[in-house]
Structure formats: structure tokens, C-alpha cells
Structure 1
Amino acid sequence: MGRGLKIAWINELALPTGGAERYVRDTAQELAARGVRSFLFYEVKASPVPSPAMLAPFEGGFPIIDLERQLRALAPDVVYVHRLSGLAAPYALSALPYPVVRFFHDHRMFCLREHKYTALTQTPCQRSIGAACYSCLGFVCRSETWPGVRFASLRKLRAEQTVARRHEAFVVGSRYMAEHIAAHGFDRSRIHVLPLYARVPPPPRVLEPRREDLLLFVGQLTTGKGLDVLLQALTRTVHPCQLHVVGRGRQEEKLRALTRELGLADRVHFLGWLEPEALSAHYRRATCVVFPSRAPETSGLVGIEAMAHATPVIGGTLGGMGEWLAHGQTGLGVPPNSPDALAAAIDQLLGDSFLRSRLGHNALRAFEERFRPEHHVSQLLTVLESLAGEGRMSA
């Protein structure tokens, strides 16, 4: 199954910086074990020096120069698109005879701000794009160039959606995301819900015991991930605890400053990005993972990774997270933007060893039943092989 299938992967970054890139790298490696040949095309401006670790599972890695010509030379069976901005590359894909699959990892094409929470109140948003995006100032976006802001356009976003709808298939990691893109006019019959998975490094021969006072946060240090809410919650907890923060992001200095302002410098430790083996050790050591996102997550890979280590999760159940975080079964659900509710949930878990054990056991069982790599990869391979046999809809 899959032997000889040739896949052209397209992703802006050839650097292992986020969940989408980790998915691209890991899934290409899983497919290679089944005989699939994979080739990565990336944006040279985004990745002037691609990561050897990112390119390792691919037979070739190529900066995008003339995508249409490059793909015709490769002649793949299927093109698998991930993060890709603008219209030029998608237009080029529509002119080719190869079937195209698009994985929607995030809300970039479905929110002017890309983050799916309002600009003024930081309230989660689950609406389709429209005039309301202007009332929340969603068109005002951060820019790395002067004057530090840019203005997003509904017209441009809708044009990107129009081109993307021409693809033969769409992959999402949750039922929530399937409904969300369907609400934007994407054909439900071509949407495939393939829950994400976690790859767990082999455990060491001697396991460190879990600490009963250690919380773990893993994710980008951005406003949407809600670390500020967790820091506020730590000033309200009764049970003494420590927090390890794994990740980096543009809000890191601001969050470090907030940590000091709240008097938490001796309890909160910023560890930066960690390699999978080191991160796995932190999952195994932690009492729980706290996932305080204020944005609707399209899936929430960090939570699935925690479950693979029998580590319960405290977090919101917005978006796709509610499809693996079952309150009182695999973790504890809390409303977004509520330090008081989050603090209460943390105290509940820290104060009840039986509850921790039960939630961790249930979390691991749910992972084994639904979120192992072979579950996702087998379904994905079925989709890819079917498309390779059928060809382009317009062909």
C-alpha cells in the first residue's frame, strides 16, 4: 500500500518551527516507511537556509522559483499543500494536471487576523468571515515593517478561498474545522477529517517519577495561546506549584515581564524550544499540561501529545479541543480568559492524586484507540491513493 506513490509537498517553511512543519516532517517520514516518495517545495524568503532535520524525510527539497514548471518536471501523483500564502502559487496549481489536496492547519484563510479571537476584547470567535470582522478591528494586523501595522482585506481573503475551493480534496484535523470550512463554501463531500497524532520517543530505561507540583505549558508564546491567563491563575492557586514553559514567540519578553510583575519569577521557568526527546521527558514528569488557549484551536496537537504520555490536560474545549479533551474523563475543561476557573481546576487536580491517575489512564487509553500515527497515516494514504487514481476533476 502506497509503494511508489510520488507526493509533492508544499509548505512555506522548511524549518521545524511549528505544528504544521512538525506534521509535514513526521508524516513524510511515516509515509516513506510505506514506500511513498516525497518531495518538499518551500518559499526561499521564509527559509533561506532550510533545516536538514526538516528535509531528512524527503527525497528532495526545492525552493519555489517557478512552481508550475518545477511540478511539471517532477510529475507527482498528488500535490499536498500545507501553509501557503497569496494567490500566485494556488493559481499555478490549478493549471496543472495533478490532483491537489490542501490541509488546513490554522485559520489563516478564515480570519482577517488569522487567530480567530477579537482584536479589542480577545474573545474567541467562531463566525465565518464577513462585515463583523471590521467591527472587531480584525482588519488591523501586525506587520514586521514600518509602521508596524498592515490592513487585511476581505476581498483578498475571499479570492484565496475561491482558488482553494478548486482543489480536489481538503484535510482537517477535527470535525470543528470541517464545519468551519464548509461554512465558507467548501464542498463537504471533499472534506476529510483525519484527527492528528503524536509520535512518542521510546521511554528511557529508568523513568523519573512524576512531580506532584509541576505544571507544563507547551506552545508558541503568542496572545492566542493564553499563557498570560495561566500566569494570572497561578497568583490565585492554593496548592504550591511550579510551571515549566516550553516554546518561543513574539510575546516572550512581554510574558517574562508579566511573570516578574506578578511575583512568579521563582515559580515559572522558560525553557525555550526542546527537541522531541527532551520534551517527552517533560510530559512524563509533569502533573498535567495546561492549555489555556483563548482562540479556537483547529485540533490542539499539544493535548494529544500529553495524552500519549498519560498526562491529563487542563484547557478550554473550544474548536477541535473538545474532540479529545473530555471534561472529567481525559482532563478538565475550563472557559477561556478565566484565571479564576483555571486556578480552581489546577487546585482540583493538584489536590487529588486519584483524579490525576484516573484522568491520565483515560487519556492514554484514548490516545491508543484514536490518535496513534498509524490511525492518521492509513486514512491519509487511502485519500492520496484514491486521488492519484482519479486525477484532476477537470481533467
Structure 2
Amino acid sequence: MKTLHLIGSKEMGGAERWFVRFLNAMQRRSQRVEAVVRRDSALARRHLAGIPFYELPLRTVWDPLSRVEVASVIARSDAEVVQTYMGRATRLTHVRPGRGKVHVARLGGYYRLEPLRHAHAWIGNTLGLCDWMVKGGLPASRVFHITNFAEPVQALSDEARRALRRSAGIADDECMLMTAGRMTEVKGQCHLVDAFSRLPETFAGRRLRLVMLGDGELLPQLQAQARQLGVDQRIVWAGWQHEPAGWFDAADVVVFPSRDEETLGNVILEAWSHGRPLVTTAFRGAREIARHGEDAWVVPCDDAQALARGIEAVLSDSSLQANLSDKGRKRIDEEFAEAVVIERYCSLYAGLAGGG
């Protein structure tokens, strides 16, 4: 079976990284895929090597010409399932029933449902999101829960790990905290900078450093906050990383400070996949998948003091760190492995294309 996947983003973020990860995984399992992406987007410029794709302007959600261009690509494609991601692509895609194609809208966030009701089926990556869609009036029989999977890990050698840390100015004997995400309100990095300022400069004889991966509109504000709090010299602003896996491998502890609005949080899965102890806030996605004291140390959202205490609790206990790492890896193997999730998608596609 062939599937066609449409996304309208211009820049890279968590959803776009998932898009690439998912299509590559489908191809690894001999599934035929095509993509439609926004012209001159970051995806088109450098992230779709080996994946056949079309570039369209995808101007706005209301643009009639963009809708015609999308319809033309869909009509020419022999894909049986058309899967759209987020609002723009979904609103521009209209597949008429009875034309031999099924339109599946994949939601990774709590978008306004009214403009998305014309799809034939909907996928949510958390149970909470699926429940919300059903409560919003979408038919329960056409709403499906399929979680994300973690990217397969290629662990760094000890030498490569040390080299990456040194490239960020972090010495071998320093303790590296790491976070990743676009610098927007929902990611809660302001609370992490505040929490970091509450931690001692050294812990158990090791100087504490914080590496922040990502870019976004709040970057200047966060840097100003760090200067005001006197911790800017101990923070590494690593920017957007096209290949962030090595940074997870190089970290001693991963911290994820998102606010309650965060839907799932791929950083949780990436920390588990790399076997890194995780401190996370109790946002809605974490409440669904993380187990406090077992595979993550979970603290309240929007509470810098609680976040600092959580980091201290994990740093203070090497056996806790090992337990969080081991249990996180086990969760990946049992629930969030690539093969498990791709099989769920393929089974769903087969059922929908067969009239199920």
C-alpha cells in the first residue's frame, strides 16, 4: 500500500522531526510513501533525502489556489491513504468519499476541530487527545490512538561523547544537564533557567552546566533572564540541532520543563531511548506516560523551586539515576518501539483502505 503525507510547516520543530522520522521508518519497513511539503521549507531544503516529495506553496488555509494544487497532487498519486499533519495541510486537503482514497488527519496538539471535521478518520498521539476529539463531536469509531515512537539509537563512543561535550565547552568532569525544544511559552524554559539559578554551582564536586537545544522567539528573553540571574556563563545555547541524538547521549541528566499544554513531549521518549535519567514536569502528556520515581522524576509545572529540587534529588542518588534509565529503556522496548508503532499504522491503513 502507498500513503501520501502532507505537512505545511516552514521551519523545523518537534512535529516536523516526527514527520521525517515516521516516513523514514515506513520506508525501512518496505512501505511506499510520498510527501507534500511547503515550498522552500526547512523540510524541503535538507530533511527529506531518500523520500520522494512534492513542493507546493501551501500559502494559507483559506487560499483556493493552494487547495486546487493539493487536490491535483492527490488526484495524480496512486496512494490509497492521504495523511495530513496539523492545521494547514488538513484544511487544504479535501478527499471526496468514493474516490478510492481515505483522508486521515493526524493531530499532535489540541487544534480547533471544526476546520478538521471533513477528514475521514483522525489519529491522536495521546489518549487524552483522542478523548478530547470524541468529546468535541468526532465519531469515536473513527478516532484512533497511536503513540509516537523513539528514534533508533546509535550510541556515541566514549571518545565521540567527550568530543561533543568539549565542542560545547563542557569539561569531562562537569555535570551536563540538557533540554531540547523550540523556545516558546509552552516549553517552559524560563522555569528551567530559574531552577538552574537555584542550584549550587557545583554538585558532588562537579560543576553544573546546562545545555539548551533549540531556537525560537523567546531566545533573547531567556538569555536576558540568564544574565540577570547570573548563570549565563554556565549555560550553553546550542541552537537548533538537525541531529540532536548525540546531545542526549552526551548528557548526564535530561530535563523537560514543559507547561501543562504540552500534548506528548517527544523529549521523554528520546531520553528513555538514550537511557538518560529524566526530570520532567507533570504536563498532560507526561501525566499519561511517565511514572514518577520509576522511569522519570516528575515535578509540578510552572514551579522553578520544585524543578530545582527534582534535579537535586536525581543528581544526589546514583541508584535512582540507574533505575530511571533502566526502566525508561524498558518502556521504549515494550511500548514505544519503532516496529510496534509502525505496525499499528499499517494495520490501521489497511483497515481504512479496505472500508473498515
Distance 2:154 2:42 in 1: 30
Q: 1:35 to 1:86 in 2, by over 3 A?
A: closer
Q: Deviations over 1:3-53 (max 9, x none)?
A: xx12111100365x1121112212111112233222212233xx4575344
Q: Is 1:103 aligned to 2:106, yes or no? A: yes
Where structure 2 has 5 or more consecutive residues not aligned to the other structure, the ranges are 59-65, 163-171
Amino acid at match of 2:52: E
The normalised TM-score by structure 1 is 0.77
Aligned with residue 3 of structure 2, among 2, 7, 11: 7
Aligned with residue 268 of structure 2, among 303, 306, 330: 303
Q: 1:310 to 1:49 in 2, by over 3 A?
A: closer
Q: Which moved more, 1:64-73 or 1:319-328?
A: 64-73
Amino acid at match of 2:35: L
Structure 1 residue 168: Cα displacement: 2.2
Structure 1 residue 295: Cα displacement: 3.2
Q: Is 1:183 aligned to 2:135, yes or no? A: yes
Q: Deviations over 1:178-199 (max 9, x none)?
A: 1122221122222211121111
Amino acid at match of 1:385: A
Q: 1:96 to 1:317 in 2, by over 3 A?
A: farther
Distance 2:289 2:349 in 1: 25
Q: Is 1:24 aligned to 2:26, yes or no? A: no
Distance 1:49 1:226 in 2: 25
> For 1:283-362, what aligned pairs fall within 5 Å after superposition?
283-362=248-327
Distance 2:283 2:157 in 1: 37
Q: 1:211 to 1:224 in 2, by over 3 A?
A: farther
Structure 1 residue 351: Cα displacement: 1.2
Distance 1:318 1:347 in 2: 20
Q: 1:198 to 1:50 in 2, by over 3 A?
A: closer
Work out whether residues 281 and 307 of structure 2, in 8 Å CA contact, stay in contact via their aligned partners in 1. Answer: no
Amino acid at match of 1:187: P
Distance 2:173 2:323 in 1: 16
- The aligned residue for residue 74 of structure 1 is 77
- The aligned residue for residue 61 of structure 2 is none
- Secondary structure at 1:85 match in 2: helix
- The aligned residue for residue 55 of structure 2 is 62
Q: Deviations over 1:247-271 (max 9, x none)?
A: 1111111111111111001211100
> For 1:144-183, what aligned pairs fall within 5 Å after superposition?
161-183=113-135
Q: Which moved more, 1:359-368 or 1:246-255?
A: 359-368
Q: 1:49 to 1:39 in 2, by over 3 A?
A: same
| Identity over aligned pairs, percent | 23
Structure 1 residue 164: Cα displacement: 2.1
Work out whether residues 38 and 57 of structure 1, in 8 Å CA contact, stay in contact via their aligned partners in 2. Answer: no
Q: Deviations over 1:250-296 (max 9, x none)?
A: 111111111111100121110012232xx222212222111111133
Q: 1:50 to 1:299 in 2, by over 3 A?
A: closer
Q: Deviations over 1:83-129 (max 9, x none)?
A: 23288614x334772211111012232xxxxxxxxxxxxxxxxxxxx
Q: Is 1:241 aligned to 2:199, yes or no? A: no
Q: 1:312 to 1:205 in 2, by over 3 A?
A: closer
Q: Which moved more, 1:265-274 or 1:80-89?
A: 80-89
Q: Which moved more, 1:212-221 or 1:333-342?
A: 212-221
Distance 1:282 1:371 in 2: 21
Where has structure 1 moved over 6 Å in runs of 4 or more? 209-212
Distance 1:249 1:369 in 2: 34
The structure that is helix-richer by fraction is 2
Q: Which moved more, 1:322-331 or 1:163-172?
A: 163-172
Structure 1 residue 366: Cα displacement: 1.2
Q: Which moved more, 1:199-208 or 1:375-384?
A: 199-208
Work out whether residues 6 and 36 of structure 2, in 8 Å CA contact, stay in contact via their aligned partners in 1. Answer: yes
Structure 1 residue 223: Cα displacement: 1.5
- The aligned residue for residue 95 of structure 2 is 93
Structure 1 residue 62: Cα displacement: 3.1
Distance 1:354 1:310 in 2: 14
- The aligned residue for residue 167 of structure 2 is none
Distance 1:176 1:313 in 2: 22
Distance 1:49 1:286 in 2: 27
Q: Is 1:83 aligned to 2:96, yes or no? A: no
- The aligned residue for residue 155 of structure 1 is none
Aligned length: 330
Where structure 1 has 5 or more consecutive residues not aligned to the other structure, the ranges are 110-160
Amino acid at match of 2:258: S
> RMSD between aligned alpha carbons?
2.3
Distance 2:31 2:242 in 1: 26
Distance 2:41 2:241 in 1: 22
- Secondary structure at 1:390 match in 2: coil
Q: 1:273 to 1:163 in 2, by over 3 A?
A: closer
The normalised TM-score by structure 2 is 0.85
Amino acid at match of 1:351: S
